[in-house]
Structure 1
Amino acid sequence: MRIINLQQFIRLPRGVLYTKFEPDIFCQIAIKEDSIPETNDWLYQDLLEIKSNDSVELDEILSKAVENGDSFELDYKCLTRDGLFKSDQLFAVFEKEDVKSLIKRLNETLDSYPKIE
């Protein structure tokens, strides 16, 4: 894993697994998509995006999950624009070996994953 600055991050190709980094704090893990270099912005795939049509439906889904224990789907096709324009933002970027190790660990978990009721 490497810590890089915004300018280095913007130059990275799409498909990089990363998390925003504040000294000693890692944020959500996401997949970088296209950069918008003119504005130091980019698109990303949040790995915890909830599948919904709008914010009203999203609120309903989460309310039912909290109140009734309902399960819900995640959306792995939804892209989001960062849009925060924080020029001093740092990023922890997964290197290829880090991604392989993460996949290996997830596969180990999957082999004996329990049914959640």
Structure 2
Amino acid sequence: MRIVDRKTFLAMPEGTVFAKYDPSIIREPMVKADSIGSEGKLIDFRYTSLTDEVDCSGSFERDGIMDLAEIEGAPFALHFNTLCRDGLFDADQLFAVWERDDIMGLITRLQQALADGYGSKS
């Protein structure tokens, strides 16, 4: 993993796995989509979340799903391809960018957790 500034991050390709970084705090993992330009300069970006996008048609449905999850323990599905726009334009924002080995390590760990915690699907 490495820490980069906003300008470096905006120049990175789609598919880059990253997290916003505040001093000593690595936020949730996301996947970078496209960078958005204006007047020949990259100014913003789109991303997909890996942890917090509920599979729903909108905020009203999401609220209902989350209420049932909290009150009744109802399971719900995540959506891993919901495109979001950052829109914060924070020139000082730093990004923790995952390297290939970091991603492979996470995949390996998740596969082990899947086998240990959920068993084989027969």
- Quickly name the TM-score band, shorter chain normalised: over 0.9
Paired position in structure 2 for 1:54: 58
How far does residue 37 in structure 1 lie from its aligned partner after superposition? 3.2
Equivalent of residue 96 in structure 1, options 72, 75, 100: 100
Unmatched 5+ stretches in structure 1: none
Paired position in structure 2 for 1:76: 80
Deviation string 1:85-109 (CA, Å, 9 cap, x unpaired) is 1010000000011111111111111
Matched, 1:8 2:3: no
Question: Within 2, Cα distance between the matches of 1:103 and 1:114?
Answer: 16
Question: Within 1, Cα distance between the matches of 2:53 and 2:60?
Answer: 15
Question: Within 1, Cα distance between the matches of 2:7 and 2:35?
Answer: 11
- Kindly indicate whether the alpha-carbon contact (under 8 Å) linking 2:44 and 2:89 is maintained by their aligned counterparts in 1: yes
Matched, 1:41 2:63: no
The letter of the residue matching 1:43 is R
SS for the counterpart of 2:27 is strand
Work out the percentage of aligned pairs sharing the same amino acid.
Answer: 38
Question: Please, what TM-score do these two structures have when normalized by structure 2?
Answer: 0.90
Matched, 1:18 2:22: no
Structure 1 runs of 4+ with >2 Å offset: none
How far does residue 73 in structure 1 lie from its aligned partner after superposition? 0.6
SS for the counterpart of 2:87 is coil
Question: Within 2, Cα distance between the matches of 1:23 and 1:77?
Answer: 28
The letter of the residue matching 1:64 is L
SS for the counterpart of 1:113 is helix
SS for the counterpart of 1:37 is strand
Deviates more, 1:45-54 or 1:9-18: 45-54
- Kindly indicate whether the alpha-carbon contact (under 8 Å) linking 1:5 and 1:91 is maintained by their aligned counterparts in 2: yes
Question: Please, what TM-score do these two structures have when normalized by structure 1?
Answer: 0.94
